[in-house]
Amino acid sequence: MRYDADHKLKTRQRVLKEAGRAIREEGPERVAVAAIMAKAGLTHGGFYAHFKSKDELIAAAIGEMFEDARGRFARSTEGYSPAQGMVRYIDFYLSALHRDARGTGCPITALAADLPRLEGAARDQYGKGVARLTDRLVGQLTLLGRDDPAGLAHSVVAELVGALSLARATPDTDQSDRILAASRAALKQRLGLLPDAMEHQS
């Protein structure tokens, strides 16, 4: 049976979605192609119709993971004032829901420890993804009128990723929740995202 290009693209996206989930939950080195194909409802033999190798799959899946992250950022910020958008994104990123969503959460946090072991193409996708998120934060911080928005954006990314990583690594849920809450409050204060400031910028 022949399939059109649209069907092939949808099939590829299904595989990438399952690969992204597996990479986040298990790490790229433990990903099994056969298991991913099975979860996508496909046979192992059909893998090479979409990818030349497992390394190519990993790199493409990382790119798709960052595309999902771009969509999350857009949903948090578009249609809101710069201050409201930043607050919404911080609240999402440093939330218990995001902490617990290991299969669908931010790829920066999920892959940071695995980065030295990734192949070149996968490392490139990771680096480009981090740069694009940082650029989006630069845009928001520029709209907020903050000094040195580029330097501040790098600091914000590091703080978000570090706080989420620590919250995920903390076995005590109450303590983990406190880490998230304290980090949200401190980051908003540092960025001047207090209620009265938001009223002036809305």
List the domains of the chain with CATH numbers. Answer: 53-201 (1.10.357.10)
User: What confidence tens digit (pLDDT) does each residue in 17-61 have?
Assistant: 999 999 998 888 888 899 999 988 887 777 888 888 999 999 999
Task: Give Cα separations from 109 to 130, 170, 172 (angstroms).
Answer: 10, 14, 19
Average pLDDT, the chain: 90
Tens of pLDDT, residues 103-112:
889 999 999 8
pLDDT digits (tens, 9 = 90+) for 108-146: 999 988 888 888 999 999 999 999 999 999 999 999 999
Encoded tokens for 86? 């930043």
Q: Over 60: is that where the pLDDT of 199 sits?
A: no
More confident position, 115 or 71:
71
Cα(115)–Cα(23) distance, rounded to whole angstroms?
A: 12
Question: What's the whole-model pTM score?
Answer: 0.86
Task: Mention every residue, 6+ apart, whose C-beta is less than 8 A from residue 79.
Answer: none
Distance in angstroms (rounded) separating the CA atoms of residues 129 and 118: 15
